[in-house]
Amino acid sequence: MDIKVIALDIWGTVLPSDDADKELRPRNGIESFLEECERRKIKVVSASDAPIETVRIDMVDYGINIERFDRFYQLKMVPKNFSQIISDYGIKPRELLVIGDTPGKDIEGAIIAGAEYRLVNSYRSHQDDFDFSRDVFKK
């Protein structure tokens, strides 16, 4: 896998999807994952359907260092259209990895674009066992 850019859906993938009181933490291993992306020289972008400023504020509120994200994209269409990310970075579709929790938005959009993808279970509770640092860069 020769990935150059990773597009992360935010709610349900990195941050819990239903957590109005902000009782949960960001998904396990996200900081280590972002460090590993830096080490591998892989750019990380957000690919959320929410307004960019809302995404940035919520990520900061959850303690995520948004400086580790190269860019923020608002992709409101269904399925998400990842062509702007591919174009902005001048990469081949297979050099983009989309990570999301919604088959009809995130994954279908990745398939249409010709990108790699990982479907993760939506993050909703303390019992979530997905770990970015363990589960994305499996050998």
Which of 98, 128, 125, 131 minimizes the C-alpha distance to 113? 98
Q: In this predicted structure, what is the pLDDT of residue 137?
A: 77
pTM: 0.94
138 assigned to some structural domain: no
Helix runs in the chain, H state only: 30-40, 52-61, 83-89, 108-113, 132-135
Query: Which amino acid is residue 27, in one-letter code?
Result: R
Residue 19 lies in a domain: yes
The answer to the question of residue 76 being in a domain is yes
Q: Mind listing the pLDDT tens digit for each residue in 12-36?
A: 999 998 877 778 889 999 999 999 9
Tell me the pLDDT tens digit for each residue of 53-88: 999 999 999 999 999 999 999 999 999 999 999 999
User: For the chain, how many structural domains are there in total?
Assistant: 1
Instruction: Confirm whether 135 is domain-assigned.
Output: no
Residue 134 maps to a domain: no
* 81 domain residue, yes or no: yes
Kindly report the CATH number assigned to the domain that includes residue 120.
3.40.50.1000
Predicted confidence (pLDDT) per residue in 86-134, tens digit: 999 999 999 999 999 999 999 999 999 999 999 999 998 777 888 998 8
* Closest C-alpha among 91, 77, 100 to residue 43: 91
